[in-house]
Structure 1
């Protein structure tokens, strides 16, 4: 099950993923800790930004990290080298139709379902690799939850360009609100989903820089060329929208976004 990764496999995207993982580590991973010796499967590990968090927060686990991109796996191996003493890591190049032939105690899926055309099918496939009583943790964002000041129609247009680009690539930029029904439809039980909200203003400069600028605005910026090439925007309109979006990271600006974290049991 392949995917057109709408943000691209670039150095700037690698930096964005790293900034995002570091800035939001406590927000996204809070409450997730696996016992030593647990067999954990991370699907769509990308460049290893979340892999490091899993290893350092759950020392002693045996982690299998899977990604469809060989380039991303190579970067993940370099990034995780320093965290490897915390646990054992096995790397696997493949997609959801080519997962390791093993049974796991826990599955961790972060920012993956948003890129897939049929997330229920993907979750059902993953469920087959989970032992009875094992858990799955799913983390997804929802770009429709972006609330910001100053409000700007031009800024909203470039956000919608991101949403449209992801939809055209077969994904769903608003999938966060669907985490609970998706897990339930895939056959998981005891599903508990909760919002994880990030809010940034000038009194929280680490979040303004790490999230508003380096995560969200950078994510929108990753689809500039695609949006212009497909006629969703023009160079002038894009420049206006990004400039207005950048004002939310300046003094007097605010930005709010919600992630959704769901846990289910096989």
Structure 2
């Protein structure tokens, strides 16, 4: 799995901004029973792990990631906040070091978009899920972004991110595909709940936390790739980024939809 956004300190900050800004939208209804064993797949630097641990303090979480550096950062965050219900392990989700039916629940957030075969990943995860266990999957969809003032250049900059991720085998439009992916992988009673971020100047925390520091920062992160691959000219890129920031000004509006899906084994 190749991570299109990279592993810089700026990306770590962006992930934290994103998680903090979207916690109530995405995680307010993610809670697990006391004593249940939950596998968090692709925990990264622990930005989502913090909210999982806080929302279900008596559940037991095993959080895995391929990056040793990210796991160390995640563990530091969890210990700093005094949580004792999370253990971390370096692992590849396509080669899980767990016995079949080891977990009551599985949580996957912003992971499938980076995989060349997300349906296979979901099928592999199903093997370590107990009968009647649940999976929760959260993904964004960059095709859902729309804004005011409208801008062709901003749309071209966003498309650069979509194309860059596709070139690495990922799919940043995957949010709209969660229902067919989960059903094809054999999960039952699949339900998908779209969750829109709407940010205008009456919501300054969302404007700053999402429009500026999450979405626009994410697009900015692929500048070098976009220019190297000649996906866009430097002048068009600069105009597109400037126009994205304009949507965070007094008369700007930005909308984006995340998709939260659940299914049962």
Normalising by structure 2, report the TM-score: 0.97
Partner residue in 2 for 1:69? 67
**Residues 1-266 of structure 1: pairs in structure 2 closer than 5 A:** 3-85=1-83, 87-102=84-99, 103-266=102-265
Separation of aligned partners in 1, 2:147 and 2:79: 38
RMSD of aligned C-alpha atoms? 0.9
Runs ≥4 in structure 1, deviation > 3 angstroms?
none
Looking at structure 1, the residues matched to 81 and 62 of structure 2 have their Cα atoms a distance apart, in angstroms, of 14
Instruction: Tell me the SS of whatever aligns to 2:257.
Output: strand
Q: Secondary structure at the match of 1:249?
A: coil
Task: Give the gaps of 5 or more residues in structure 1.
Answer: none
Query: Cα deviation per residue 1:71-96 (whole Å; 9 max; x = unaligned)?
Result: 111111111113443x4222111211
1:192-222, Cα deviation, whole Å (9 max, x unpaired): 1110111000000000000000000011011
* C-alpha separation in 2, matches of 1:243 and 1:19: 20
Asked whether the equivalents of residues 94 and 121 of structure 2 are also in contact (C-alpha less than 8 Å), the reply is: no
For each residue in 1:27-78, what CA deviation from the matched residue of structure 2 results, as whole angstroms up to 9, or x when unmatched? 1112110011110000000000000000000111111000011111111111
> How does the TM-score come out when normalised to structure 1?
0.97
Q: SS at 1:199's partner residue?
A: strand
Name the CA distance, whole Å, in 1 between partners of 2:186 and 2:37. 21
Which sits farther off after the overlay, 133-142 or 89-98?
Answer: 89-98
Cα contact 1:202–1:250 (8 A) shared by 2: yes
Number of residue equivalences: 263
Q: Which runs of 5+ in 2 are unaligned?
A: none
Confirm or deny: 8 A CA contact 1:66 1:99 kept in the other structure. Answer: no
